[in-house]
Every structure is written in structure tokens, then in C-alpha cells.
Amino acid sequence: MQWRPGGTSGDIEDRRDSSGGGFGGFGGIHLGIGGTLLLIVLSFVFRQNLFTLVTPSGPTQPTGYADRARDAAEQPQVQFVSFVLDDVQHTWDQVLPKAGVPYHHAKLVLYRDSIDSACGMAQSATGPFYCPEDEKVYLDLGFFGELQNRFGAPGEFAQAYVIAHEIGHHVQKQMGIEQKVGLLQQRNPGERNKLSVSLELQADCFAGVWGNSTEQRKVVDQADAKAGLDAAAAVGDDRLQKMATGHVSPESFTHGSSAQRVEWFKRGLASGQVSACNTF
């Protein structure tokens, strides 16, 4: 991606040094998404809290020192997230009014390990998510390492895709789609997963709409676009279920298969139009 490091976005709430505790922050050790998920599964299987076995060993730096050092190390990532967040939202500033809906910005909360949100406890193990109650995206920067190392989706545009997808949910909130789907899910519990898949695939398509804008402005090239497609494929329900359990259960999908996620991201990428994203 062609981007220039700058300051921190005014739409970012940096709460990394005020978060922690709960799952992921045991004894000062940051397990990461993969390690946390593994311990959760093993604790369930063996009916024993295996997190009690995770204890720090050897000399440690004072917490304040460690936080400042980590903040400095993560600053390039913060600058990248700031660039992507501002670029995505400035795109929607222009695109959404053309669809007859004014756009106002979401906030993005940076945290570590766990933090309270209006939608409940945000934990690094859940990955990035959008909370419609407070209109904020929650992101632990450690997820980017998991995206590359665990899910095999490296590259800056793969990371940007994740942010654009979550802002896509904010666009759905502005358009009234998220509220309508919530009501339909309440009225038709048997359709809950199917409706959730449609909502997630539309957010993928909206991420593609932003991707189309970046291609036109020469911010990304074909290699970057492929990284975005790889990221969409990496987090398909079928692939994640296969990794976790060894088998696939389509009836339990909530985000869509890898093929579906790639297809809808490509539709938004090719068209750059909100009208191309009717997944319902």
C-alpha cells in the first residue's frame, strides 16, 4: 500500500494502557489470540482452569516501563491504523450521501487483552469487532500478528481489509440495515444465522467499495488487492471450523464461507457502488 506515516487519527481512542485483565492478560503475559483460544478449548475439554498454570517466570520490567516500551514499538502500527481508518471514513463521507444517507464517523478503540464496551467485554480472543451500541470498532493490535501467522493472510492491505470490514458494519448502522436485521432475527430465531451471514457478507462488500476507491487513487495495486482477497478467504467460517474441529457445519455459519466472502469483497471492489452490495 502507498501510504505515509502521520499522526494519530482523531477518531482513535487509545486505551491500550488502561485495558487488560480478563482473558488474554494473565499474570502480565499476553498469550495472543491463538494461545488464548487453545487454553479455552483445553480448559473445557479437561474441565480444569488451565489458565492458572500460566504464571510469569524470571525477572520482569515494571508495568509502566513495559507499557511505554510496547507503545513505542507499536507506533508504526498505530500510524497505519490511523491512515486506514481516516481513508475509509473519508471515502464514506463521499460515497454514502450519494445513496441518500449522511455519514458520521465511528471511533476505533485500541486496547490490549480485554476492555469493557457497550456490547460487553471485548477480548483479544474474539478478534476485532464493531459495537453498534456505542458505534465503536474495538481492535487489539496483536490480531494483525494472528492474521499473518495463524491465518496465513500477510500484508498491509489484509490488515486494512479487516478495518474496512468493521467500518462496513458502521455503514450498515447508518443505513438502518443493522437495526432491521436485528428485528428480523428476533422475530425469526431460526433464520438468525442466515441473516448474520448476509450482514457479514455485505460488510465485506462495503470493504470492497472502499478498496475500489483506493485502486482509483493508486493507493493499492493488484498485489494489495490479492492480499485483501486472501484475508477474506482466511476468515471464512468453513476454513475456521476446519482449523478448529476438523469438520465443517454450514448450518452454523455466521459470517459466510471463504468463497462467499471473497465473492462479495470482489463485487464491491469491482463496482465501487453501494447498490452492488445487496446480500439480502
Lowest mean pLDDT across 20-29, 112-121, 193-202, 250-259: 20-29
pLDDT at residue 241 greater than cutoff 90:
no
- Reduce the DSSP state of residue 1 to 3 states and report it: coil
Q: Are 113 and 23 in contact (CB under 8 A)?
A: yes
Q: Of 115, 155, 160, 153, which Cα lies nearest the Cα of 136?
A: 115
pLDDT at residue 20 greater than cutoff 70:
no
Q: Of 129, 125, 152, which Cα lies nearest the Cα of 232?
A: 152
pLDDT at residue 91 greater than cutoff 80:
yes
Q: Percent of the chain, pLDDT > 70?
A: 65
pLDDT at residue 56 greater than cutoff 70:
no
Strand partners, 14: 110
How do 107-110 and 12-14 pair as beta strands?
Answer: parallel
Residue type, 46: F
- Reduce the DSSP state of residue 3 to 3 states and report it: coil
Position 116 scores a pLDDT of 87
Position 232 scores a pLDDT of 65
Distance, CA of 254 to CA of 200 (rounded, Å): 8
pLDDT at residue 12 greater than cutoff 80:
yes
Q: Averaged over 183-191, what is the pLDDT?
A: 91
Domain-wise residue ranges, the chain: 12-277
Lowest mean pLDDT across 152-156, 166-170, 219-223: 152-156
Q: Left, alpha or beta for 35 (phi > 0: left; psi -120 to 50: alpha)?
A: alpha
